[in-house]
A and B are shown apart, each in its own frame.
Chain A
Amino acid sequence: MKYEAVIGLEVHAQMLTDTKIFCGCSTKFGSEPNSQTCQICIGMPGVLPVLNKKALEFAIRTGLATNCTIASYSRFARKNYFYPDLPKGYQISQYEHPICEHGYIEIVVDGTDKKIGITRIHMEEDAGKNIHEGGGNYSFVDLNRTGVPLMEIVSEPDMRTPSEAVEYMKKLRAIVRYLGVCDGNMEQGSLRCDANVSVRPVGQKEFGTRAEIKNINSFRFVEKAIEYEIKRQIKVIEDGGKVIQETRLWDSNKGITESMRSKEEAHDYRYFPDPDLVPITVEQTTIDEIRAGLPELPDAKRKRFVSDFGLPELDADLLTSEKTVAEWFEEAVKAGGQPKAVSNWMMGELMRLLNEENRSIENCLLKPEQLADMLVLIGKGTISGKIAKTIFTEMYKTGKDAGVIVKEKGLVQISDESAIEKAVDELIAKHPSEVERFRAGEEKLLGFFVGQVMKAMKGKANPQMLNDLLKKKLSS
């Protein structure tokens, strides 16, 4: 029997606010344990939460960017459970009345667009961290993260393959980064993902029993964990068993998911409206204002890059996956760079160099205008494309202009026909047997001659002139 998977994702995104969601403590990552806490976020007796307006605005921004309806009335609820990293014994979250509902985002699957529904986006506070160190019969609790604002973005069960899930995650990450509401860092945990996975025979309408997979902290693991879980469930069914509803933990070392708790062991969170926080009412004018302040989003940018710059879909897709990359591209084009040439240099050399040292494009010494200038030098024939690679690497390392590097290293292309001719004549004289073979029809030897002349001229010969001269001399 053939099976298909049904996948839904619950994504937690840490909001990039300066302060926590219900108090004034800093949200900075990596500080001394418990240095960013106050009586409110550590849940001392009698203290009360007050909503950070920025967090609300960020949630609304995200809702608008994902085509959601923004609730005119929403409220916070308490999710009750005991754990040492949860100082109040409950997490302030949203339950019955989330801030955003009924949205979607578009992903591209095998060249066609597919809409993935967003069930809801709600705000909540993060918990702290238990640290098990020292090996003794004790644990430490760090409450710096307690109260950092989160958005939980819940998708509809609209995905059918692991790669669709990855595309969805990538698109969501791009959107929150474009909006500036989350840094999207999966390794540091500012973007976290749980997956609901079930399988069913192809053609069946009803969903199978689902398992929830937790602890997926990279794009690669989104794919691997879901892939594994689908295979596991199919095997259970084919072996005559039944998939049980449970929470499973992804173990990235072993590459498997393992049962964490069954439905029977599931917590009863006893949600109820938080009486310490008044209901949130959002006016249409506020929504309109926030909408007006939204940046151009990845999809719109991608379409514009195709229509305005004539870029292929692939180029447009890659260049718009990060806002900063797209901006770099547009600046280079604005400075006079031919769009496709800029794209080629960025997707090839620039990305390779950045990846090599894990550097972000914002911290790149090479500026977009400098790439545009270099392209002008190539266009004018001042430098060859081959030399340009050397120059580009040097520009990337030093941040110097192409012209300066050309001068310093004497890399100007030699377009003096007599100089090239001299080198060609010398070469022909040195290699009579190869000349013989070429004339006998072994045309691929042209490359050998080009290479040898270039070597002799330190790569500076104008390649077009060299080609023409060689062909002329060899066939005469």
Chain B
Amino acid sequence: MELFTLGIAELNSMLERREISARDICGSVYKRIEAVEGSIRAYVTATPEKALEMAEQADKDIAAGSKKSLSGIPIAIKDNMCTKGILTTCASKILSNFIPPYESTVTSRLLENGYVLSGKTNMDEFAMGSSTENSGFHTTRNPWDIGRIPGGSSGGSAAAVAADECIAALGSDTGGSIRQPASFCGVVGLKPTYGRVSRYGLVAFASSLDQIGPITKNVTDSAILLNIISGRDTQDSTSAPVEVPDFTSVLGREIKGLRIGIPGEYFTEGIDAEVEQAVRNAIRQFESLGAIPVEISLPHSGYAVAAYYILATSEASSNLARYDGVKYGIRAEGKDLLEMYMKSRAQGFGAEVKRRIMLGTYTLSSGYYEAYYRKAQQVRTLIKNDFENAFRNVDLIVTPTSPTAAFRTGEKTDDPLQMYLADIFTISVNLAGVPGISVPCGFTSGSLPIGLQLIGKHFDEASLLQAAYAYEQSTEWHKRKPAL
């Protein structure tokens, strides 16, 4: 048995029993990276020296009897979270030389818990995309079929977890960017409630929607990481002063009587037949575990994608204004200030980022603001209300994570609208700010993973994890590994 195939919980017990060392794990993961990274290309920056140094420190801590909850566990970090002294590019040319002099709150918390940084993972540039094809550097491949994309924007993190190039990873999710790649790569991806995890040090795409969460090999590891990264942070005004329960304590509790809502709007045309079948089977599995399925309606779902692409691009157009070549990042020479700005941004940003900046600039413009931005905010309120109404009758909502399994590289790059629809089932969750998790629930006839999405009430990640764990333990899907 190779150590790189294991999860956090298993490695933790082995470390506690002193059967293995942190250096062993680090060596195993790096051996795996050397073997498969050439075909997967999950990382923008691998950090072998740093990882070894951190693993040695972990071994010292363990020897001194002060093992921490992540001592010696190699974790991959999406390249939009700032790591002090380590290149943080957002997979953008404009930040291709950016080394932050500060640490994001999430990675600070991982550091306090003794983690080992395996490297910074690839993503769609500034997290804008659903396939990782918008990376300014290279495309990551799906470990289940390297002719296909891993999903996005956290495609590097999801692929690294699925290919065992790390033990677990952090991703960020603005419209589905954790859940959709987790679904495409056959791993567990959790987007916590907006405000549950600090965004300090997360390079902003759309501030009112962005949320960091774990991508893991199983539900237990998801709970372990969520315990560590959650909680109020005085450096992020939008992080909520809400108590953080021990999310691992609910794992294993039975789900008899749990009411799971099935929204009719999510099972209509456009959904792949095999995906629908797998999700229906999963619902039956929940029933057999004692859960009660309830037909529900989320009537404004049809407006979610449109509202999302107005709000997210509006915020992005402003968030990305700071990349002007003046202070850091790439600067192009120009004959005057305006030309320097224009050339720097023209050369530094990729096509999708430019498209979204233009769209967002337009929707915020005087004369259009009312028709677009304000209207979209109103739609957002209606969508939030949909969920609140639904949660009066049910404890959780079950949907497919994505209407299809992973698509082929290049299949949707010429059609942004088709690409945007890959997030049709995940976007509402961000607009409403509620938590969502994707867990493996089957495979297509072509052996591609299918994801099941569970959606919970605000700050009720515990119920999500409890139900996801019960489901996972009653199935074998999470045990399959891609043949690499």
User: Which residues of A line the B interface, CB within 8 A?
Assistant: 39, 42-51, 78, 80, 82, 84, 87-90, 141, 268, 270-272, 275-278
Contact = CB atoms under 8 A, between A and B. Distances in A.
A46 B238 contact: no
B203 A45 contact: yes
B200 A276 contact: no
Contact of A270 (B323, B337, B341, B366): B366
A51 B234 CA distance: 10
7 contacts: A45-B322, A87-B322, A87-B326, A88-B322, A89-B322, A272-B315, A277-B237
A278 B237 CA distance: 6
B324 A82 contact: yes
B100 interface: yes
B322 A46 contact: no
A47 B337 contact: no
Given A48-B237, A275-B315, 11 more contacts: A44-B102, A46-B82, A46-B199, A48-B200, A48-B235, A48-B238, A50-B235, A50-B236, A89-B322, A89-B324, A278-B238
B420 interface: no
B104 interface: yes
Interface string B460-476: 00000000000000000
B151 to A, nearest CB: 23
Interface of B: 80-82, 88, 90, 95, 98, 100-102, 104, 199-204, 206-208, 234-238, 314-315, 317-318, 320-324, 326-328, 337, 341, 361, 364-366, 369, 373
Contacts of B314: 272
Nearest to A276: B207
Contact of A80 (B95, B237, B321): B321
B317 to A, nearest CB: 8
Contacts, number: 100
B266 to A, nearest CB: 27
Contacts of B202: 46
A385 B334 CA distance: 73
Contacts of B373: 272
A87 B237 contact: no
Nearest to B98: A45
A278 B47 CA distance: 36
Contacts of A45: 82, 88, 90, 95, 98, 100, 203-204, 322-323
A82 B199 CA distance: 25
A268 B201 CA distance: 29
A50 B364 contact: no
Contact of A46 (B104, B208, B324): B104
B359 to A, nearest CB: 13
B237 A276 contact: yes
Given A82-B324, A272-B373, A46 B203 contact: yes
B102 A39 contact: yes
A272 B369 contact: yes
- List of 3 A-B pairs having minimum Cβ-Cβ separation, nearest first: A89-B321, A275-B208, A270-B364
Contacts of B98: 45
B364 A272 contact: yes
A47 B101 contact: no
A141 B234 contact: no
A42 B365 CA distance: 26
A271 B368 CA distance: 12
B234 to A, nearest CB: 7
A263 to B, nearest CB: 12
A118 B158 CA distance: 56
A92 to B, nearest CB: 11
Contacts of A276: 204, 207, 237-238
A80 B322 CA distance: 10
B335 to A, nearest CB: 9
Given A39-B101, A46-B201, A276-B237, A90 B321 contact: yes
Contacts of A82: 321, 324, 341
B321 A46 contact: no
Contacts of B321: 80, 82, 88-90
A39 B235 CA distance: 12
Contacts of B361: 270
- The interface centre, meaning the residue of A39, A45, A49 with most chain B CB atoms within 10 A of its CB, is A45
Nearest to A43: B322
A270 B207 CA distance: 17
Contacts of B328: 44
A48 B199 CA distance: 8
Nearest to B362: A270
Nearest to A84: B326
Nearest to B95: A45
A472 to B, nearest CB: 86
Interface centre among B80, B324, B328, B373 (most CB of A within 10 A): B324
Contacts of A78: 318
B201 A47 contact: yes
Nearest to A42: B327
A268 B204 CA distance: 23
A42 B337 CA distance: 19
Contact of B100 (A46, A87, A268): A46
B325 to A, nearest CB: 10
A99 B101 CA distance: 35
Contacts of A271: 364
A55 to B, nearest CB: 14
Nearest to A22: B237
A284 B366 CA distance: 35
A278 B208 CA distance: 10
B422 to A, nearest CB: 24
A157 B364 CA distance: 29
A220 B326 CA distance: 37
Contacts of B364: 80, 270-272
Nearest to B336: A137
Given A82-B321, A89-B322, A90-B318, A50 B102 contact: no
A275 B322 contact: no
A276 B98 CA distance: 22
Nearest to A130: B337
B200 A47 contact: yes
Nearest to A23: B235
Contacts of A44: 100-102, 327-328
B98 to A, nearest CB: 7
A84 B238 contact: no
Nearest to A85: B326
Of A44, A51, A78, A80, chain B has the most CB atoms within 10 Å of the CB of: A44
B310 to A, nearest CB: 11
Contact of A48 (B90, B206, B236, B366): B236
B326 A47 contact: no
A80 B201 CA distance: 22
Contacts of A42: 327
B232 to A, nearest CB: 12
Contacts of A90: 318, 321
A87 B337 CA distance: 14
A270 B202 CA distance: 24
B365 A268 contact: yes
A89 B325 CA distance: 11
Contacts of B100: 39, 44-46
Given A39-B101, A45-B203, A82-B341, A51 B318 contact: no
A78 B360 CA distance: 14
A44 B373 CA distance: 26
Contacts of A272: 314-315, 318, 364, 369, 373
